[in-house]
Amino acid sequence: MRTGTGSAGPERPKQTEAAWALTLAAVAAEVLVWVLGVFVVAPTGLDELTEFAGRSAAVTQLVRSAGVLAVLLGAWLFVAARMRAGRGWARAVLTVVGAVFLLFRVGGLGMDGIDPAWWAVVNALPDVLAAAAVVPMHLPGARAHFPSAPRRTA
pLDDT one-digit tens code per residue, 29-72? 999 999 998 888 877 777 787 788 888 888 888 899 999 999 99
For residue 6, name the pLDDT band (cuts at 50, 70, 90): very low
Residues 6+ apart with CB under 8 A from 52: 58
Secondary-structure breakdown of the chain: helix, strand, coil percentages, each rounded to the nearest 5: 70, 0, 30
Q: Is there a contact between 26 and 130 (Cβ–Cβ < 8 Å)?
A: yes
Task: Indicate the helix (H) or strand (E) that contains 107.
Answer: none
Entry pTM: 0.81
pLDDT at position 104: 81
Q: DSSP H helical segments within 6-87, as ranges?
A: 14-35, 45-53, 55-84
Residue 1 pLDDT exceeds 50? no
Over residues 92-130, the pLDDT tens digits come to 999 999 888 888 877 765 555 566 778 888 888 999 999
Tens of pLDDT, residues 16-27: 999 999 999 999
